[in-house]
Structure 1
Amino acid sequence: MISAVNEFLDDLRGGRMSESPLVTVEQGQLQGRIVNSPSGKAFYSFQGIPYAKPPLGSLRFKAPQPPEPWDGIRDATAEGNVCAQIDPVFAKSYVGDENCLFLNVYTPSTDGAFLPVMIWIHGGGFKWGSGNTNLYGPDFLVDRDVVVVTINYRCGALGFLSLNTPEVPGNAGIKDIVQAIRWVKDNIHHFGGNAGNLTIFGESAGARAVSLLTASPLTKNLISKAIIQSGNALSSRAFQRDPLQSAKALARSLGCEAEDVDEILEFLIATPAKDLVEADEKLNSLQKVLETSNNLFGLVIEKEFPGVEAVISEPFINILTSGRTANIPILVGTTSLEYACERKTDDLQELIPADLNLDRNSEEALAIVEEIKKLYFKGNHTGVESLPEYFHLLSDKLINLDTHRYIKYLLQVTNRPIYYYRFDYVGELNIAQKIFFSLGLKYAMHMDELGYLFKNDFQKDVEPTPEDIKMRERIVRLWTNFAKSGNPIPDENHYLNTNWLPVTNDNLYCLNLNSELTLISNPDKEKMDFWEKIYDKHYRIWDETTNQSKNEPQIDTFKKEPEIDTYQNEPEIDTCKKETEIDTYKNEPEIDTPKHEPEIVSVIETVVITQVMNKETSVSEERTEVVSDSDQIDRAEVETQITTTTLLENNDGSQTLIVTEKTETPEQAPSVKEMILEFSEPAQLESNEHKPVNDHINTNGVDKKARTSNEIKMVHNSNGAPKEVIRANDPPEDDLPKNIGVNKFVSFFESLGGKK
């Protein structure tokens, strides 16, 4: 079957292609052209296709609107405008236009070949870039019988300014990408593409966008696979710290001192795009973003407004760790040395990840610095000879650590394959040092793999070696195989002569892409283990802000999750009786292995309260209505199940967890109103390095089912009065990064008057 399709495509390329390809999409007709790739094969090119209405005038900063139809045949033989920006690579000056929402489609056939579709999202720090062929020529990919789509989206303040209002909530640039994907979904069959097989892939900021889109409700059921190259949305640099203050700073730099958001919006809409872009560059250059890890106009966690679509309205890590990302195959990786830049300071505290929220010169920060010196540097960490070691540390902070964390978290919540790679090849087609770096380092660096995936202007005067051509053929085959089937090496051959195993909890298998393909396990294990322990100790998930102005009310992040939120009004679901049917967190450990406990026997008693439905009201213990609508329930019959958990320290240093249970039915339980919440320090547990545990616990020879995540746990004081109410799946404080449900608990707790 595959050979027949290839023969058909070869016939088309051999001369039967239409000299004037014409395609009809929903908005009208498009006239494309025929292009010959470097291999001599021909393919169809359709460029400058508008996928949204031009975001001009009152539409500036706002979500994209659907495209308008056109009369007659539209010329699609030239690329559209790039977003207004300061181009640091080619023009090195102001280029582009606000009217920039265009995409390009490149296809081997328009005759219904039903080919896989690959949608490329360019990088550039959300500040610059485009899908144009000067950097992202599709030739090598299209040669492997896929349809390639490249897009432009709004960058900088034009794409990411947020006023925390329904009119300008932020993330307009990401919503541009969503609109482009929707357009592709509706129209790609006219170009020979399969709308049911869309792979989105991107690098750097494009990779952050890809990972974010796998977690966004706006792309639900649109994406089939994702390729994430050198970055993801766990990066603290990806999100704005204070969007409203960033907007005010931009307005002030242009002469507007207004504090009212409506006045600021009116002023910024009236400002010429060139002035906006140049002011943005002065405030927020790429160099400043790297130095401060603060992108003034990056992604935002949006406030929720009725009728307004939000890309993301809670921290990305919440969505990731609770299993609400798209359950699709993922291919993710990095280069061997991501970043090399001038060392501005010898203070290694600058390289402690910002999301750990450690105070400078604190005991904890200084202790981490000493460990960093031992782990990363052979000698003096300030000497010139230590620069390569410093660059590896910088690369870990900016890219590698977040990639490791992303894979680890994703492993706990998906049953789809995750393929991990490292690009380690240095050849004539590497482009990083031709664009940004001139240090003469013999490493594959940030962006270098792009020279093998795409045809670009840097290759015009380059004569690739046979090894370069072999590497290009390898990476193109890996990426397109994955887009076709979800498996990058379905069959071994001359180019792909090894097996690529997906990662597991025990082994982070990684394909090292060099002169030879090598499958390695747990790369940089010592360093990643070190950072994992640091995050276990210091990272607090509730420190992930909603990235809104400090004076703004907090967002209730769990109100709009209909597909998994069991707090919604769904009376037909009896959560007391059918817990296993709605437990979407099957891969999360219910009980974690304790750590740092003294050699004593500790006994923790918990009382699990299960609400019984009364005849008048269909309410379960799972719902917030049990509290907020508690006037409807004066007294509820309850079944009290007392669970005694005993932790034993064995002589060999291991620990044994013993659980016993008994059920009591008191004559009368306290009403919900009478439950007084008091926040106390919970016991500290550990997740056993992210390894899932069996959902059954052997208790005195009896195999018992571990508790599901749909129960309410009450810890009692010695007098029997309830001491605190928490969700059974909410972890102890020290274990928060590896568990789920935390922000829901915090929001629920604070709604009752509790304090963090």
Structure 2
Amino acid sequence: MITAVNDFLDDLRGGRMAEAPVVTVEQGQLQGRVVNSPTGKAFYSFQGIPYAKPPLGSLRFKSPQPPEPWDGIRDATAEGNVSAQIDFLKKEYIGDENCLFLNVYTPNLDGEFLPVMVFIHGGGFVFGSGNSSLYGGDYLVEKDVVVVTLNYRCGVLGFLSMNTPEIPGNAGLKDQVQALRWIKENIHNFGGNSGNITIFGESAGGVAVSLLTASPLTKGLISKAIIQSGSALSKWSMQKTPIENARNLAKILGCESDDPEEVLDFLNATSARELVEAHEKLTPMDLFPEVTNAFGVVVEKEFPGVEAIITEPFIDLLTSGRIAETPIMIGSTSLEFAFERRSDDLQAFIPEELNIERNSEQALEIAEQIKNLYFKGSHTGVESLPEYFELLSDNTINVDTHRHVQYLINVSKKPIYYYKFDYVGELNISKKILNTFGLTRAMHMDELGYLFRNDLQKDVEPTTLDIKMRERMLRLWTNFAKGGNPTPDENHYLTVTWLPVTKDNLYYLNLGQELSLGTNPDKEKMDFWDSLYSKYYRIWDHPRSNNDEVVLKSSEPKIIESYSETVTVYSESSAFTESHTYVSETTEIVKENNEIVSETHEFITENNGEPVETNEVVAEVSENHEAVVENNEAAVENNETVVESNGTVEENNEPIVENKEGVVKNVEVVEKNEIDHPKVEEKIEEPVKIEESHPTPVTAVLNGDRKVQPRPSNEIKMVSRSNGAPKDVIRANDPPEDDLPKNIGVNKFVNFFESLGGKK
């Protein structure tokens, strides 16, 4: 077998490859071409291969569908469209919605033994492509691996989320999963081993790789992962309010409606170019990394039968060990970013997830600590820019990479290889596309110039040391892809053994002019950030999913003529006002054009403070740990927990609920625009105790005589984690579309009282 392989490689070197190679995949036949690498070695190239159905028309914003077969031999000698986007360098619109294509580069079409390396491009999930203008696989293929690059939907086209089963979000990431499924099924036709697939990516591509290692959708699809200058822990990669972002985008385009369904219809009717240009206005690329991308990754809502990339925060997946079976190589450059300073306030660098109030005593103290740690003197002025860039790079990439490694150490069953790229040469890409301010440091994307062939460096003459560094990088990356060990043996190029990190030693490989193995890179600075997270970060203070409302279509006829209702709730309880600022709350519900405006009801669970969304007419109250108010703040004692049900609001404004603590004195109903029409009536039933295992549905009353029993499948259940902490409230067998009439007013009342005792 080895002799046959060597003979075949000799044939390649002799140029005896077929001039028009044809391979057969599941969808049909592909004709590629033979090309020569910069060193003169020939390999096979297949480009513009569709891995999914074009995401056009009704498929816009939705998860990718498997590709359709074709007749005859499809030409695969030219690259496919890139995603619709604003070109980063030229600042002009390019690309197309029909962009789900991949490229395969291979030295061998016979056999099924070569490792496969799948690269995912960066670009902040807004721009970029896997095309050979930047990511030519020429050098990697020379190391006997099959290289795959791919395009995926970027920006709003790839990451719009309406929190619905139809458009839950992360379509661009699901494009990548669909590509991996296609590769798994077909790569053996290109000489690749479908059982040995390594994914690697840089910047947003690194974020994507980190997410794919955690997603249940990639189970059985990937063997190893390389994460370069990006982690899903980074705030710039995520969007927390997707529906608000969609509304804001629509407003830029001229849509005045706030109704999510109308916003979606408007965006579907808008051209791809207009969407992309409006996205650029909403979050300009030149503000990265200061501004979080409006259309990035979301933590998806769970819907039965709907595939999701992740349905809980990445940090939960990372710390729980669900990435434990994947060998990982992870690292960053010594200096990632050099952006112009827009503010001298160092409080801007305090991670927002620490929930430290700006200008508070703690925030000012931390800002002073940051100044003392990063700056030798003043933190303003031109002379402090190099120090500022270090702080910016740590805040954007390096701290999250460090945290990613630290979390992995505690749970991983596979090796973790940590690196720092610190080499400056002629092939550093930052010299061509970034403002380096004259700094001689390795910056964002610089390592890519030593892994890929690209058009930016056509006229660059690499030095002898540059060529040596490229050889080192290629060997480290492909050795890891082949067997999971980047330095299986020492040689002229790989002069040290790269040790994986352990709980006792944070080993890392420094990729400078020479290779060296060290421990704890930037120890003083990373220790400082570790101490901040240890002191202030509380995982239970963060929502388990994105903060926007679930939008579900109702098949019930929309009723109720135009009227508006104001409900004012007052509290006179001194016990409750001492510890809460919620003295009064006024909410106004406006119904127009014979429609019921659907409401979002967020129940706050008491133990972890996280919002749990529901549109049901069932309120679950546990006597032990979900009482409205507790201990000294209790306004209702023992069995006097108040649960509001749909019923009749007394027109004479008599007190609705009274108890000896006087939490609720009355509910005042102010009728506007009164006319003769059926009214939605509300009343307060007797206190109801609902058992967790068998929740009791509450009767909804519409028009005074029509009663609807909520379906058992919409019951709410409380699930406990293994450590005893409550998990999300979930619905059992919740159907993708909710055809129940919307509950009017009840949840606002309950939500208010739960907020009194729910947060400490």
Output the TM-score relative to the length of structure 1. Answer: 0.74
- Between 399-408 and 10-19, report the one with greater CA deviation: 10-19
Deviations 1:103-134 (A, max 9, x none): 00000011014100000000000000000011
Change (3 A) 1:676 1:22: closer
User: What letter corresponds to residue 131 of structure 2 in structure 1?
Assistant: N
Contact 1:81–1:100 (8 Å) recurs in 2:
yes
Residue 505 in structure 1 maps to residue 503 in structure 2: yes
Residue 21 in structure 1 maps to residue 21 in structure 2: yes
User: What letter corresponds to residue 215 of structure 1 in structure 2?
Assistant: A
Contact 2:162–2:551 (8 Å) recurs in 1:
no
Contact 1:156–1:277 (8 Å) recurs in 2:
yes
Aligned-residue offset at 1:349 = 0.5
Partner residue in 1 for 2:79: 79
Partner residue in 2 for 1:132: 131
Residue 123 in structure 1 maps to residue 122 in structure 2: yes
Partner residue in 2 for 1:53: 53
Contact 1:215–1:326 (8 Å) recurs in 2:
no
Contact 1:542–1:742 (8 Å) recurs in 2:
no
Partner residue in 2 for 1:744: 727
Q: Equivalents in 1 of 2:325, 2:265: separation in Å?
A: 42
Deviations 1:705-744 (A, max 9, x none): xxxxxxxxxxxxxxxxxxxx997964xxxxxxxxxx8563
Q: Equivalents in 1 of 2:55, 2:515: separation in Å?
A: 46
Deviations 1:132-167 (A, max 9, x none): 011001001000000000000000000001111111
1:288-307 equivalent positions in 2, closer than 5 A: 288-292=287-291, 294-307=292-305
**Alignment equivalent of 2:408, drawn from 407, 410, 417:** 410
Partner residue in 1 for 2:462: 464
Q: Equivalents in 2 of 1:409, 1:327: separation in Å?
A: 14
Q: What is the percent sequence identity of the aligned residues?
A: 68
Aligned-residue offset at 1:208 = 0.1
Partner residue in 1 for 2:758: 755
Deviations 1:412-463 (A, max 9, x none): 1111000001000000000113102141110000000000000001111110
Q: Equivalents in 2 of 1:726, 1:404: separation in Å?
A: 33
Aligned-residue offset at 1:291 = 1.8
1:374-453 equivalent positions in 2, closer than 5 A: 374-453=372-451
Deviations 1:616-665 (A, max 9, x none): xxxxxxxxxxxxxxxxxxxxxxxxxxxxxxxxxxxxxxxxxxxxxxxxxx
User: What letter corresponds to residue 755 of structure 1 in structure 2?
Assistant: G
Partner residue in 1 for 2:656: none
- Between 195-204 and 383-392, report the one with greater CA deviation: 383-392
Unaligned runs of 5+ in 2: 553-620, 632-717, 732-749
Q: Equivalents in 2 of 1:253, 1:553: separation in Å?
A: 22
Q: Equivalents in 2 of 1:63, 1:431: separation in Å?
A: 33
Change (3 A) 1:508 1:3: farther
Aligned-residue offset at 1:3 = 7.3
Q: Equivalents in 2 of 1:380, 1:676: separation in Å?
A: 51
Q: Equivalents in 1 of 2:211, 2:721: separation in Å?
A: 28
Residue 237 in structure 1 maps to residue 236 in structure 2: yes
Secondary structure of residue in 2 paired with 1:449: helix
Residue 529 in structure 1 maps to residue 527 in structure 2: yes
Q: Equivalents in 1 of 2:251, 2:720: separation in Å?
A: 46
Partner residue in 2 for 1:349: 347
Change (3 A) 1:743 1:64: farther
Partner residue in 2 for 1:145: 144
Contact 1:453–1:476 (8 Å) recurs in 2:
yes
Contact 1:242–1:547 (8 Å) recurs in 2:
no
Partner residue in 2 for 1:602: none
Aligned-residue offset at 1:337 = 0.2
Change (3 A) 1:368 1:743: farther
Unaligned runs of 5+ in 1: 555-671, 682-724, 731-740
Deviations 1:486-510 (A, max 9, x none): 0000011100011100001111101
Deviations 1:464-518 (A, max 9, x none): 0000000000001000000000000001110001110000111110100011000
Partner residue in 2 for 1:620: none
Partner residue in 2 for 1:563: none
Contact 1:140–1:454 (8 Å) recurs in 2:
yes
Secondary structure of residue in 2 paired with 1:15: coil
Contact 1:154–1:173 (8 Å) recurs in 2:
yes
Aligned-residue offset at 1:540 = 1.4
Partner residue in 2 for 1:312: 310
Deviations 1:390-420 (A, max 9, x none): 1111111000100110001011111100000
The count of corresponding residues between Structure 1 and Structure 2 is 583
User: What letter corresponds to residue 43 of structure 2 in structure 1?
Assistant: F
Larger-gyration structure (1/2): 2
1:171-570 equivalent positions in 2, closer than 5 A: 171-292=170-291, 294-325=292-323, 327-552=325-550
Secondary structure of residue in 2 paired with 1:46: strand
Q: Equivalents in 1 of 2:389, 2:467: separation in Å?
A: 29
Q: Equivalents in 2 of 1:253, 1:676: separation in Å?
A: 45
Secondary structure of residue in 1 paired with 2:63: coil
Secondary structure of residue in 2 paired with 1:214: helix
Q: Equivalents in 1 of 2:281, 2:3: separation in Å?
A: 55
Q: Equivalents in 2 of 1:334, 1:181: separation in Å?
A: 25
Q: Equivalents in 2 of 1:365, 1:278: separation in Å?
A: 37
Q: Equivalents in 1 of 2:262, 2:294: separation in Å?
A: 20
Residue 32 in structure 1 maps to residue 59 in structure 2: no
RMSD: 2.4
Secondary structure of residue in 2 paired with 1:259: coil
Q: Equivalents in 1 of 2:497, 2:183: separation in Å?
A: 33
Partner residue in 2 for 1:5: 5
